[in-house]
Amino acid sequence: MAGKSAMKAQVFRAIGRIELQELPVPVPGRGEVLLRVVGCGVCGTDYHIYSGELTDGVNPPVVLGHEIAARVEDVGAGVGGLKAGQFCAVDPVIGCGACPACRSARPNLCSRPEVIGYKRNGGFAQYLLAPAGKVVPLDESAGLSGGVLCETLACVINGYDRLGFRAGASAMILGAGTVGLLWTAMLASSPCRLLVQSEPVEFRRRKAAELGANVVINPDDGDLAEAVRGAYPDGLDFIIDATGNPTVVEQAIPLLARGGTFLVFGVCPSDGSIRVNPFELYRKEARVIASKMPPGTLDRSARLIESGRIPCGKIVTETTQLSAMPEAVAAFNDRRDRQVKVAIDPWK
């Protein structure tokens, strides 16, 4: 540990303000692990925090970054089973441990969680601390892209479990950003008879086709609902929103087949609202469900990434340096035509 006292970190100080600072390298306490960051993904959530759209559970000054690939650097007292140098991902959701959700092993629904990268210092730094139980060992073969996507894929796995996908069903994914494309990879590995995806950006439509979508639609070409209804008059069995856009959700719910399930997965604005026709839901016996954050699904996510079935290297399209992080966050929505997931390597 000699000579290692200061580190570089991007600190979120206030809305619209992220500054590169030198911080002391944290010292792991009992049950904690010091992690050396290998890469950290820039997420829409970071943009929502930066722009002030998301303040709940955020505690500035704080280092953002919850999509973390790292290596164990040092362990605190009482930590077994983790050795220095071990490659890993991090489960950022730390429940309070005492509320009804935590007591039911659903920390993603905790009423007062301390999320790494929201409230506790996250991965846009050279080092961070994590509780040992939140460190998820990952084979080296996963690489930076697999490590960085492990958390997001864990969220998708939660959604997949909740969906109750049935072999031979049809599905539609709305959006082909990081989340939409991880859904493409998941459903393309499932016995899905038809996988439709909608995405306005050409670069991302090509990715969706490459990752296994059978039909890729540009919603800007005309009325999405009309196009889907024309091609699939019986509707689709499963529809997953990965846009977080209430207008898209409102348009797409009526496209469900009888007995279909709509999953609200993308994070819509907290003041958004939509109109639904309850009679149509009744007539179809349709379900509208949601899923939020990973409820301890990172271990399965890590194993799935190790299997090589999720083409993580095609989704992480750029790795850049720590100094470029504030701009990467601020310009999150401006680079859709050439980037999907951008990762930050704080040692680059």
Binding-site ranges for Zn ion (CB under 5 A): 43, 45, 95-96, 99, 102, 110
Q: How far is the CB of 233 from Zn ion (least distance, A)?
A: 36
Nearer to Zn ion, 43 or 255 (CB): 43
Nearer to Zn ion, 95 or 180 (CB): 95
d(CA 77, CA 70): 20
Q: How far is the CB of 100 from Zn ion (least distance, A)?
A: 8
CA-to-CA separations, 25 to 20, 33, 58, 94, 264, in angstroms, rounded: 15, 12, 21, 21, 39
Nearer to Zn ion, 113 or 254 (CB): 113
318: closest CA among 336, 298, 299, 294? 336
DSSP letters of 290-317? E--S-SS-HHHHHHHHHTT-S-HHHHEE
Nearer to Zn ion, 101 or 209 (CB): 101
Nearer to Zn ion, 45 or 158 (CB): 45
CA-to-CA separations, 45 to 117, 172, 196, 266, in angstroms, rounded: 10, 24, 26, 11
Q: How far is the CB of 257 from Zn ion (least distance, A)?
A: 30
Q: How far is the CB of 85 from Zn ion (least distance, A)?
A: 26
- N- to C-terminal Cα distance for the chain? 21
Q: How far is the CB of 99 from Zn ion (least distance, A)?
A: 3
Contact indicator for 113, 94 with CB cutoff of 8 Å? yes
